[in-house]
Each structure stands twice: as C-alpha cells, then as structure tokens.
C-alpha cells in the first residue's frame, strides 16, 4: 500500500485501486502504529477514484508535515570511505572510522518541513560550497511510539567541501534551504522490506546520465530498529519522525553536482524520487 500526501488531501494506492481521503490532517493520519490495518479498513468502505494521475501531477507534496527529519551517518562502508578521503588532509578521517565501529550510531537533525522539497521540487547547492553530492537514502517513517510504520525515499544533499574541512561543520554541510528531498510516497507494508531491496541513483546532465550507482540495503552496518531506538532514546516526537538511514552510494572525488542536474533515486518497491538542482 502506498500513501501519497497531496497539498489538500491524502491519496492511497491499494491493490491497484486509488482512494482519496479528504478533511483529514496528515499528522493525525500517519501517526498510527497500525497504519496498514487502519488504512486498509478505511479504504474498504470507500469508492475508488479514477483521476489519481491528474491529482499526482498537480498537487503531490513531500510526505512530511510536523515531523522532524533526522539522518544517520556512516552506516555503509562506502560512506565511511568517502568521508575518510574527503577529510584526510584536514585530519578528520579518524572520526568516521570510529563512528562506523562504535556502538552508538551517528544521528543528526537534518531539516524541518520548510527546508524539504517533494518529488519534482528543486534541491539546492550552498553558494559557499565547491563540492556537492546527493545522498540517496531509504527513509524510515516512525510513529510517535518509535515504531517503523513505513518507508520513503530521501536525498540528503551534502556539501563535501564544508564537511571535509572540519567534521564540526557538519550542520552547515547538511542543513540549509532546499537541503533535502522526500517522496514520492510512503510505502506501508505488513512485513519489513526485503533485505535485497535496492537503492538506485542516476544523475543526469544535459539529458545524459553522468553518474549511476546502486546498493542493496543489506550492505548497511546497522539495523533499522537499532537506528530508530537510538533516535527515540531521549527525544520524544509527538507527531512521529522521519529518519534517513545513510548513503551507500558516493560518487568519486572528481564528481560535483551542478545547477540543472537531475537527481533520480529509485527504490523499486516505493517508486522514484526525482529533483532538479536549482
């Protein structure tokens, strides 16, 4: 089952049929430990609609309202390597090796709603950054009790020049206007995602792919429950939360994003999140 946030309603795709829920707040709808069961019961009493494509084209929104967006770092070997390379000259590389091995994961606050764009929105590069990449990540949708109730796709836009200069600059490398994309929908399943689920990244410039990469989520060093557990240890989330799980795809050192590039991230079970760089 897939749940899409529209600007004025909620669109549900279930068993090949589409249903539109109106007069219902996203925050209240989504924050439900039994989201699959409740939504299935709700749509069983509704009439399917036939204009879902038009609604998606005109009013698809990022699947986030009052939730905070958090992110996990250095959860894949490729992220550890990439960060060690970028911070080697400035002496920060040891921190990444240590956090990869440590019991406590790296978790950081990524963005509130107004810094996030949905599918089709424009992500941004900081004007004071010279080396930038998208980070394609599976995102956990968590209820206020900390339960994983769904999954979406995220782009954790990152400045490698600023983070590489000093790991203490991480909040500036990671958080700025247009720093994240989420969408296109929330996948709600009855059982956890299969471990061979793929995350695929394509970056295109002038209509040509200039970088492609993929990773299976079984390459992650940590469990999703483990990441969610640490996030909820000493933080409450009255409306639930979104947690990016880290990148396993990092382009080589000679690649930097440019204005006009198109970033497409696909998780076949969920869909494709596409954004242009402003």
- Which positions touch Mg ion (CB under 5 A)? 135, 156, 247
> Of 31, 79, 155, 274, which lies in the binding site for ligand DO4, with binding defined by CB under 6 A?
79
Min dist CB 166 to Mg ion, Å, is 18
Q: Which stretch binds ligand DO4 (CB under 6 A): 72-80, 175-183, 184-192, 207-215?
A: 72-80
Task: From 118, 148, 102, 114, select the one nearest 243 (Cα to Cα).
Answer: 148
> Of 13, 32, 135, 261, which lies in the binding site for ligand DO4, with binding defined by CB under 6 A?
135
Residue 247 engages ligand DO4 in binding (rule: CB under 6 A)? yes
Three-class DSSP category at 226: helix
Residue 180 engages ligand DO4 in binding (rule: CB under 6 A)? no
User: DSSP for 10-64?
Assistant: EEEEETTEEEEE-S--HHHHH--TTHHHHHHHHHHTS--BS-HHHHHHHHB--S-
Tokens, residue 258: 């440019």
Among positions 183-242, residues that touch ligand DO4 (CB under 6 A) are: none
Residue 246 engages ligand DO4 in binding (rule: CB under 6 A)? yes
Number of chain residues interacting with ligand DO4 (CB under 6 A): 12
Residue 71 engages ligand DO4 in binding (rule: CB under 6 A)? yes
Distance separating alpha carbons of residues 25 and 29, to the nearest angstrom? 6
What is the phi-psi region of residue 40: left when phi exceeds 0, alpha when psi lies from -120 to 50, beta otherwise?
alpha
Q: Which stretch binds ligand DO4 (CB under 6 A): 52-60, 68-76, 183-191, 215-223?
A: 68-76
Distance separating alpha carbons of residues 12 and 3, to the nearest angstrom? 5
Q: Which stretch binds ligand DO4 (CB under 6 A): 57-65, 66-74, 140-148, 230-238?
A: 66-74
Q: Are 187 and 4 in contact (CB under 8 A)?
A: no
Residue 132 engages ligand DO4 in binding (rule: CB under 6 A)? no
CB burial readout 243-263, b (16+ within 10 A) else e: bbbbbbbbbeeeebbeeebbb
Q: Which residue is nearest to ligand DO4 (CB)?
A: 73
Min dist CB 64 to ligand DO4, Å, is 18
Residue 106 engages ligand DO4 in binding (rule: CB under 6 A)? yes
Q: Are 176 and 125 in contact (CB under 8 A)?
A: no
Q: Kindly list the residues in this chain that would bind ligand DO4 in the complex (CB under 6 A).
A: 71, 73-75, 79, 83, 106, 135, 156, 170, 246-247
């Amino acid at each position: 089952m897939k749940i899409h946030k529209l600007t004025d309603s909620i669109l549900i795709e279930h068993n090949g049929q589409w249903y539109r829920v109106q007069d219902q707040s996203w925050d209240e709808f989504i924050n439900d430990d039994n989201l699959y069961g409740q939504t299935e019961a709700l749509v069983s009493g509704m009439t399917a609609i036939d204009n879902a494509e038009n609604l998606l084209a005109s009013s698809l929104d990022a699947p986030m309202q009052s939730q905070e967006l958090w992110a996990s770092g250095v959860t894949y070997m490729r992220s550890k390597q990439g960060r060690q390379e970028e911070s080697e000259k400035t002496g920060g590389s040891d921190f990444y090796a240590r956090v990869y091995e440590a019991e406590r994961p790296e978790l950081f606050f990524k963005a509130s709603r107004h810094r996030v764009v949905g599918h089709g929105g424009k992500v941004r590069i900081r004007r004071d950054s010279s080396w930038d990449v998208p980070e394609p990540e599976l995102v956990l949708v968590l209820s206020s009790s900390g339960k994983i109730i769904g999954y979406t796709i995220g782009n954790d836009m990152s400045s490698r020049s600023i983070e590489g200069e000093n790991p203490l600059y991480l909040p500036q490398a990671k958080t700025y206007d247009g720093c994240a994309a989420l969408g296109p929908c929330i996948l709600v399943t009855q059982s956890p995602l299969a471990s061979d689920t793929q995350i695929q990244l394509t970056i295109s410039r002038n209509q040509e792919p200039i970088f492609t990469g993929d990773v299976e989520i079984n390459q992650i060093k940590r469990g999703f429950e483990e990441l969610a557990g640490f996030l909820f240890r000493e933080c409450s989330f009255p409306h639930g939360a979104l947690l990016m799980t880290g990148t396993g795809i990092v382009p080589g050192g000679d690649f930097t994003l440019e204005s006009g590039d198109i970033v497409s991230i696909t998780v076949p079970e969920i869909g494709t999140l596409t954004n242009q760089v402003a």
